[in-house]
Amino acid sequence: MLYFRRICGSCFTPNLINKRTSIWNPTYQDPIADKSELDLPLSEDDPRKYRPIKPLFHSDATTFFHDPVLITFTHMVMKDGRKDLAQRIMANCFEYIKRKQVKKWLACNSDEERKEIECNPWKIFHKAIENCTPVLKLMPATRGGITYQKICSLYGYEMVSTNLSNTWSYGNDGRVVG
């Protein structure tokens, strides 16, 4: 190896480094994560009838309670790897929101006012994240040795804007803002 490094100048050559490969054989089929697609019958020539299928990714759960936005926010709340504590905090937050909204709902006198009040804490959480999702961002641009701040659109960068909204709603000092 040392001799090869002297000849090539680097030990990181494509011939010596194995490429990362999947643990699954290429004959394995990708799983179906969409529940509506799972209910459809398979055709006679579909390879999923006779080939093995890979397991679902942990992020592709089909349960009712699976919510990727909530999971991301819970990971932001988590400190020192204590996921159980972060999940309990989020559950308590949802319970607090629910109690507050039900109290408002019970205080209303007419059915029209009651229809306007949302009692589902999941919908309120998603609306809060959506409301604080940024559309524009300031980016540094250097021209002639001077750095300016220019406005850039975040259209098409949903992950960046969602991450910023989670950070803003959680707060920089670790407190939930609201």
The pLDDT assigned to 169 comes to 74
What pLDDT band is residue 171 in, cutting at 50, 70 and 90? low
Q: Which residues contact 97 (CB under 8 A, 6 or more apart)?
A: 121, 124, 125
Q: What is the pLDDT of residue 177?
A: 55
Neighbours of 162 (CB within 10 A): 19
**Class level of CATH domain 68-170:** mainly alpha
User: How many CA atoms are closer than 13 Å to the CA of 149, on its beta-carbon side?
Assistant: 3
pLDDT at residue number 147: 94
Q: Please report the pLDDT score of residue 105 as a whole number.
A: 94
Residue pLDDT, tens place only, 5-27 = 444 444 444 444 445 666 888 88
DSSP 32-66: P--HHHHTSPPPTT-GGGTS-BPPPPTT---STT-
pTM higher than 0.85 = no
pLDDT at 13: 44
Could you report the per-residue pLDDT of 83-125, keeping only the tens digit for each? Answer: 999 999 999 999 999 999 999 999 999 999 999 999 999 999 9
Please, which pLDDT band fits residue 173 given cuts at 50, 70 and 90? Answer: low
Q: Please, which pLDDT band fits residue 30 given cuts at 50, 70 and 90?
A: confident
The answer, yes or no, to whether residue 153 has pLDDT greater than 60, is yes
Q: Report the sign of the C-alpha dihedral through residues 157, 57, 73, 119, in that order.
A: positive
DSSP 99-149: HHHHHHHHH--SHHHHHH----HHHHHHHHHHHT--SEEEEEEEETTEEEE
Q: What digits encode the pLDDT tens for the residues 40-83?
A: 888 888 888 888 988 887 767 767 777 888 888 888 888 888 99
Residues of the chain with CATH 1.10.455.10: 68-170
pLDDT of residue 134: 83
